[in-house]
Structure formats: C-alpha cells, structure tokens
C-alpha cells in the first residue's frame, strides 16, 4: 500500500505520514479501517519499527488516526480539519515555493493550474 524510497532526502517517517494522508484522501483508507500494526508495517516496508512508530505518533497527534489500547491503530472517525494560522502560512509558503520554482522552469500560472487539476484527478479517483 505504501511506497517508501529509502534513498529519498525526505525522511522515511514523513513519507509514511504523507502517504497515509494521501490514501485517506483517496478513500483507499476509510474511517475505522485498521492500519497494520507498527511491527507489521515495519516488516512490510522493511523499515525500523521505531520509524513507523514515529510516523504513527505524528499522525495521531494530528488526529488523522487513533490508537485503541491493545487493539491497534485505526483511521479516525470524525477527523475535523483544523486551520490554524501557522499551518496556513506553512502551506502558503510551500505554494509560493512551487510558483517560484515553476517560474524558473518556464512554467507559468496556467501550467500550475493544469498541474493542480491533474493532481486533484489523481487524488479523487475512487
């Protein structure tokens, strides 16, 4: 289900976080679905259990998943997105970086809009 690239400069635990969120958004992971246990997941991804645990803990802090004592980890039922100013600024900064980098690759507003549409198509499939 998840696709980890240990060579990437992006930390493995962040890759796990991003991909779980992506799968939730795509509907591949539904509220109430059980995630593989830390141990199972670490075997699946051939990654250290601590690394998986770190990703799960962060996802739990963001309330995307819930841990039920002794039973395992589940996609959260009522995940209420929370906009705080900081997070918003962070996302805006990221988007600004996209614009600047795109500019230096010769991509303008239209091309980014197109990419955006394309990404939504990818994420909403299901």
Size of the chain, expressed as the number of residues it contains: 126
Closer CB to DNA, 19 or 107, in the complex: 19
Q: Long-range pairs for 42-50 at CB < 8 Å and ≥24 separation?
A: 44/1, 44/2, 45/2, 45/4, 45/12, 45/16, 47/4, 47/6, 47/12
**At closest approach, how far in Å is the CB of 5 from DNA?**
10
Residues that bind DNA (CB under 7 A): 6, 9, 11-14, 35, 37-40, 47-51, 53-54, 56-57, 60, 67, 69-73
Pick from 30, 46, 78, 81 the residue near a copy of itself by CB under 8 A. 81
Query: Interface with a copy of itself includes 109 (CB under 8 A)?
Result: yes
């Amino acid at each position: 289900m998840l696709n980890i690239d240990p060579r990437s400069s992006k930390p493995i635990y962040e890759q796990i976080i991003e991909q779980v969120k992506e799968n939730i958004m795509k509907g591949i992971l539904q509220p109430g679905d059980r995630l593989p246990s830390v141990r199972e997941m670490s075997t699946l991804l051939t990654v250290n259990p601590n690394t998986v645990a770190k990703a799960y803990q962060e996802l739990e802090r963001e309330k995307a998943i819930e841990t039920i004592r002794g039973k395992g980890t589940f996609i959260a039922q009522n995940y209420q997105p929370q906009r705080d100013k900081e997070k918003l600024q962070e996302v805006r900064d990221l988007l600004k970086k996209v614009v600047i980098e795109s500019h230096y690759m010769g991509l303008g507003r239209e091309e980014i809009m197109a990419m955006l549409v394309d990404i939504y198509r990818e994420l909403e499939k299901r």
